[in-house]
């Protein structure tokens, strides 16, 4: 019902902006027509995000790591990659994180946000590779092989 209400408001506003309605009666008619549409919710797709930390001295971190996946049909929100009870992002390790998201289409890039945690003695991090897989599609690789030495966000294009 909420989707229908939003769709009604959007359709009415668009028609008013385009000058396609003639007064309040026209807007009410457009609202009634839009309210009859049956809009399905966005499909959920399971993504597996694999993060490989470099195999260099001091490459691991305890800092906060988030990713935003960018595709041809939109972008995810920033997703914090942290599983309580696990020590992620250690030297030479690959950590896997499952997330259910709207279908983002063909994957194009990943934004990585690295935030140094206060008091973290391992604040640098060497990111080697991000690999993203979704059911029924090929893997998408995002190689980086560089250090994060301060809090920052970088965009990594698909290879």
| pLDDT averaged over every residue in the chain | 79
Output the pTM of the full model: 0.72
Q: Are residues 51 and 28 in the same domain?
A: no
Is the pLDDT at 41 greater than 60? The verdict is: no
What CATH code is carried by the domain that includes residue 60? 2.60.60.20
Same domain, 150 and 120: yes
30 in the same domain as 48: no
User: Do 18 and 87 have their domain in common?
Assistant: no
Does residue 74 share a domain with residue 17? no
- Answer with the residue of higher pLDDT: 28 or 80: 80
At 44-83, the pLDDT tens digits run 999 999 999 999 999 999 899 999 999 999 999 999 998 8
Residues 49 and 68 reside in one and the same domain = yes
Residues 84 and 108 in one domain: yes
The predicted pLDDT at position 84 comes to 81
Output the pLDDT for position 138: 85
Tokens representing residue 157 in the block: 């294009």
Q: How many structural domains is the chain composed of?
A: 2
Which structural domain, as residue segments, surrounds residue 12? 2-35
DSSP secondary structure, 88-143, as one string? -S-TT-EEEEEEEEE---SEEEEEEEEEPPTT-S---EEEEEEEEEETTS--EEEE
- Which is more confidently placed, 35 or 94? 94
């Amino acid at each position: 019902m909420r989707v229908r209400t939003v769709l009604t408001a959007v359709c009415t506003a668009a028609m008013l902006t385009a000058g396609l309605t003639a007064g309040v009666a026209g807007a009410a008619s457009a609202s009634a027509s839009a309210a009859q549409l049956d809009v399905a919710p966005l499909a959920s797709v399971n993504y597996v995000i694999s993060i490989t930390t470099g195999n260099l001295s001091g490459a691991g971190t305890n800092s906060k790591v988030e990713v935003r996946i960018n595709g041809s049909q939109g972008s995810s929100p920033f997703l914090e990659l942290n599983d309580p009870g696990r020590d992620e992002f250690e030297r030479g390790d690959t950590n896997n994180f499952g997330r259910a998201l709207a279908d983002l289409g063909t994957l194009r890039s990943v934004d990585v946000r690295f935030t140094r945690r206060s008091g973290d003695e391992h604040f640098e991090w060497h990111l080697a590779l991000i690999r993203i897989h979704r059911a029924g599609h090929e893997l998408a690789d995002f190689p980086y092989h560089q250090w994060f030495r301060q809090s920052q966000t970088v965009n990594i294009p698909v290879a």
